[in-house]
Amino acid sequence: MGEAARALSSLSVHRGLDVRLSSHGSYPHPESVRAVNSTTNPSNSAGQAMNGDFNTHQSIQDYYGQVLKSSADLQTSACCLIESPPPHVLAALKNVHPEVKDRFYGCGSPIPPALEGMTVLDLGSGSGRDCYVLAQLVGASGKVIGLDMTDEQLTVARKTQSWHAEKFGYANTDFKQGYIEDLAAAGIADASVDLVISNCVLNLSPDKPRVFAEIFRVLKPGGELYFSDVFSDRRVPKALAEDPVMLGECLGGAMYGEDFRRMMAVVGCNDARMVSSDPLAVNNPALEAKAGNIQFLSNTVRAFKLALEDRCEDYGQVAVYLGTLAESPHFFDLDDHHHFVAHKPMLVCGNTADMLGSTRYARHFKIMGDKATHFGLFDCGPLPVGSPITSGAACC
């Protein structure tokens, strides 16, 4: 039994996982995840602690709705871009309203390529900055849905919709109010979204397993989750997780890498890939003292709704990038250890072949070989999501 399978088996036994499956692949039904979390997570669907007075959602709403008036009010560097976004994103940013950009608190640039005509969901869309960038990249035939729970942020996003529509020449954005733990309540149907992105927001959720279950429910088969967020090298103590400033600055809810791996295994994702990772400097002496020895990481991660194996297996397959992505004609980086040079054949494992050949990237790759013959384990594999990897890519 592989590592992810062992994690799934262990969680199923020790947490009483209901094995009812959704109608779109082998993913636990969201109701079964809700049932599990009711006994293991001290928060209900509104973020209200059942064993105390701390309300995570209310604390976040207060911080992002009342305390922060612009990005200048942030107390740490956790919610700041480490590096400049890629050129095509920078070009799109020039067409975004200044007020929207002033209220941006994201920590990365979680915008992958090949988006023309796609339906994209942005979880924790805030003032709408990434949504309005995506609106240009998906084009008039695509659609961008922004979901946020904060009135003040949604007001900014919505009041500039007509301004952006006139700027772009079309209207393709829809901003909904709701919780990322309950996408059904916001009217987002099963298998209706091509891409889910999130920019330093998943760490804020008091019920992350439920968030991931909902994400994989709404993704279409072959759809992608692509997000930037704050991770940690250990579990953050409860006292820090309930500190309003630590939480609001995206540190209190940082995900421990191994817990992230386990959560993904539960929702049926056996192979989430690290795109980039860098150590995160807090740059606030008072908060650094509270954090002690905890090391924070800024990670960008991608995962696909595919029936992948829990290890990289060798079937003798080869992938060739055709150089047809306008944003990156010379190379394509799938993750931190798959750099495809245009027109150069590259041996790949079965999972990588599926990520490239059974998703929206298929028309940009030529996959040679099938899975008729197995040659054993493939000599590569995803590094632990909690591990720091020096990278030049923009991330949280």
| pLDDT band (50, 70, 90) for residue 161 | very high
Read off the amino acid at residue 358.
S
Residue 83 or 214, more confident: 214
Q: What is the mean pLDDT of residues 208-221?
A: 98
pLDDT > 90: percent of the chain: 67
CATH code for the domain of 319: 3.40.5.100
DSSP 84-131: PPPHHHHHHHTTS-HHHHHT----S----S--TT-EEEEET-TTSHHH
Residue 351 has pLDDT above 80, yes or no: yes
Q: Can you read off the two tokens belonging to residue 271?
A: 């192979």
Integer angstrom CA distances of residue 225 from 38, 233, 334, 370:
25, 22, 13, 25
Whether residue 163 is predicted with pLDDT greater than 70 in this model: the reply is: yes
User: Do 198 and 153 reside in the same domain of the chain?
Assistant: yes
pLDDT tens digits along 18-76: 333 333 344 454 454 444 443 334 333 334 433 345 565 665 555 455 454 445 545 55
Closest CA to 241 of 33, 41, 34: 41
231 three-state secondary structure:
strand
Predicted confidence at residue 48, as pLDDT, reads 42
Q: What is the pLDDT of residue 69?
A: 47
* pLDDT tops 80 at residue 229: yes
Report pLDDT digits (tens) over 266-300.
999 999 999 999 898 888 899 999 999 999 999 99
Closest CA to 201 of 326, 56, 347, 394: 56
The mean pLDDT of 319-329, rounded to a whole number, is 97
- Checking if the pLDDT of 383 tops 70, the result is no
Question: CB within 8 A of 166, min separation 6: which ones?
Answer: none
In what helix (H) or strand (E) does residue 363 lie, and over which residues does it extend?
none
Average pLDDT of the chain is: 82
The span from the CA of 303 to the CA of 196, in Å, is 10
Q: Which residues pair with 225 in a beta bridge?
A: 196, 303
Give the separation between CA 255 and CA 203, rounded to whole angstroms.
6
Q: How many domains does the chain have?
A: 2
pLDDT of residue 281: 87
CATH number (domain holding residue 243): 3.40.50.150
Q: What are phi and psi of 31, to 5 degrees?
A: -65, -35
Of 249, 277, 304, which one is at a domain's C-terminal end?
Answer: 304
Is residue 358 domain-shared with residue 254, that is, in the same domain? no
| pTM for this entry | 0.81
| Residues 116 and 181 grouped into a single domain | yes
d(C-alpha 356, C-alpha 222), whole Å: 10
Report residue 285 as tokens: 């002496």
- Phi and psi dihedrals of 368, rounded to 5? -110, 130
Last residue of a domain, one of 261, 286, 304: 304
Is 243 found in the same domain as 284? yes
Are 341 and 266 in a shared domain?
no
How many Å apart are CA 21 and CA 34, to the nearest integer? 13
263 and 163 in one domain? yes
**Same-domain check for residues 349 and 376:** yes
Pairing outcome for strands 296-304 and 365-368: unpaired
Position with higher pLDDT, 259 vs 12 = 259
User: Are 279 and 315 members of one domain?
Assistant: no
- Pair 332, 340: CB distance under 8 Å: yes
395 falls within a domain = no
DSSP track, 4-50: HHHHHHHHHHHHT----B-SSSS-B-HHHHHHHHHHH-SB-TT-BBS
Residues 262 and 374 in one domain: no
Query: Beta partners for 304?
Result: 224
Question: Is residue 168 in a domain?
Answer: yes
Look at residue 249 in the predicted model and tell me its pLDDT: 87
CA 332 to chain centre: 19
Examine residue 392 and state whether it is found in any structural domain, yes or no. no
Reported as a pLDDT band with limits 50, 70 and 90, residue 105 is: confident
Domain shared by 324 and 215, yes or no = no
- DSSP class per residue in 291-350: HTTPPEEEEEEEEESS---SS-B---EEEEE-S--TT-SSEEEEETTEEEETT--EEE-H
Domain limits at 340? 311-387
* CA separation for the pair 114, 322 (Å, rounded): 13
Q: How far is CA 189 from the centre of its chain?
A: 19
- Asked whether residue 40 is domain-assigned, the answer is yes
For residue 394, pLDDT beyond 90: no
Judge whether 393 lies within some domain.
no
- pLDDT number for residue 354: 98
Q: What is the largest CA-CA distance in the chain?
A: 59
User: Would you place residue 108 in the very low, low, confident or very high pLDDT band (cuts 50, 70, 90)?
Assistant: confident
Which of 256, 274, 304 marks a domain boundary? 304
Under the banding of pLDDT at 50, 70 and 90, the label for residue 77 is low
Better-predicted residue by pLDDT, 231 or 31 = 231
